[in-house]
Amino acid sequence: MAALRYAGLDDTDSEDELPPGWEQRTTKDGWVYYANHTEEKTQWEHPKTGKRKRIAGDLPYGWEQETDENGQVFFVDHINKRTTYLDPRLAFTVDDNPTKPTTRQRYDGSTTAMEILQGRDLSGKVVVVTGANSGIGFETAKSFALHGAHVILACRNMARASEAVSRILGEWHKAKVEAMTLDLALLRSVQHFAQAFKAKNVSLHVLVCNAAVFGLPWTLTKDGLETTFQVNHLGHFYLVQLLQDVLCRSAPARVVVVSSESHRFTDINDSSGKLDFSRLSPSKSDYWAMLAYNRSKLCNILFSNELHRRLSPRGVTSNAVHPGNMMYSALHRGWWVYTLLFTLARPFTKSMDLECRFDAYGDLHCPVLEAALFPKDFTCQFRQFLSL
């Protein structure tokens, strides 16, 4: 303190108040640094406290972050039509903990998708999300897009997909987001999607296999397979195979397969322990909607696990995730009984943007985004139950 007093740095009303000649600035990814105009230098530590700080929270409504020709970040207030180099969130900075917090400390059951991506710049990343016009898929696609990624909504219903694109653009007009047709119930459509995507000559850094159906009556697709099995598993399996070369060229890349805890309540082996193919695409007499869904989710996990084993040496990781118990979504639309069940359970479930939860083992799990973004080799919780 004697040295600070001698330098005149303690002559302020607040510990965090900057001495004369100093200015507080922020980087594009939310870290605070300090500019000393007298000595023409910058530093990360506060000149008085020695602490490092970072921005907390998103920009206020109507504000947008830009970069000038010199690479310096500035902020645009679209409501009041003004610009400033002062980050409006500087009043809400938090100290950077020198000890890196664990996932349990950083997130909890009320963490939103946007909060998980806070401070991340995904510019230059290309993301494909299937079934992205609603539910978890939409929130995932929106979160990626609002953080700079080029996001492709792969959907069967182009009218609803275009509406979803408009909603995202309504939140940020510079979002790089588009819709492409993908009908997982038609393998030819999967092939056409892969061809159209490759024609764009872009990378693919994250592929989120999210689309699914639930509680459908027994029907066969035009390919002659039971619909739940083809949409939930086989369509995605085929899609990944067709885009595998693009994923490997884009490494490091991720495949995220949205599965379910319901995979526990089924089996796909016969009495001798061998795979029973008739259970994957059953006849009408052997069909039960809930069991078909459970089997498709088990296939998701087995596929993700094997895909990770094969492609991780080439820089492509695959993660299977469980989005949360009884999460309210549009999955129930197949039968009025499921609609009633989901409606009664809705007060006890999460909204679509709450994509984090504590799993049954007390470990924090932030499924789709965590699996897509963790820089380390992410081992999904399901793998501990499998001996492959």
Asked if the model's pLDDT at residue 377 lies above 60, the reply is no
How far is 385 from 388, CA to CA, in rounded Å? 10
Q: How confident is the model at residue 117 (pLDDT cuts 50, 70, 90)?
A: confident
pLDDT at 34: 84
Letter for the amino acid at 13? D
Catalytic residues: 293
pLDDT at 75: 86
Q: Is the pLDDT higher at 199 or at 381?
A: 199
Q: Measured between alpha carbons, how far is residue 272 from residues 148, 275, 326, 387 in Å?
A: 51, 9, 34, 17
Percent of the chain scoring above 90 in pLDDT? 40
Average pLDDT over all residues of the chain = 78
How far is 152 from 196, CA to CA, in rounded Å? 12
Instruction: Report the range of poorest mean pLDDT among 18-32, 71-85, 100-114, 304-318.
Output: 100-114
How far is 157 from 189, CA to CA, in rounded Å? 12
Q: Give the dihedral sign, CA 69/72/78/81.
A: negative
Q: Which of 164, 295, 187, 317 is nearest to 239 (CA)?
A: 187
Residues 6 or more apart whose CB falls under 8 angstroms from that of 226 comprise 218, 219, 220, 280, 281, 282, 287, 292
Q: Encoding tokens for residue 327?
A: 């999460």
Mean pLDDT of 207-211: 96
Asked if the model's pLDDT at residue 351 lies above 60, the reply is no
Helix 135-145 crosses helix 158-171 at what angle (to 10 degrees)? 40
Mean pLDDT of 149-153: 97
Asked if the model's pLDDT at residue 62 lies above 70, the reply is yes
pLDDT at 111: 64
Are the C-beta atoms of 248 and 314 separated by less than 8 Å?
Answer: yes
How far is 173 from 167, CA to CA, in rounded Å? 10
pTM tops 0.75, yes or no? no
Mean pLDDT of 7-15: 49
What's the chain's length in residues? 388
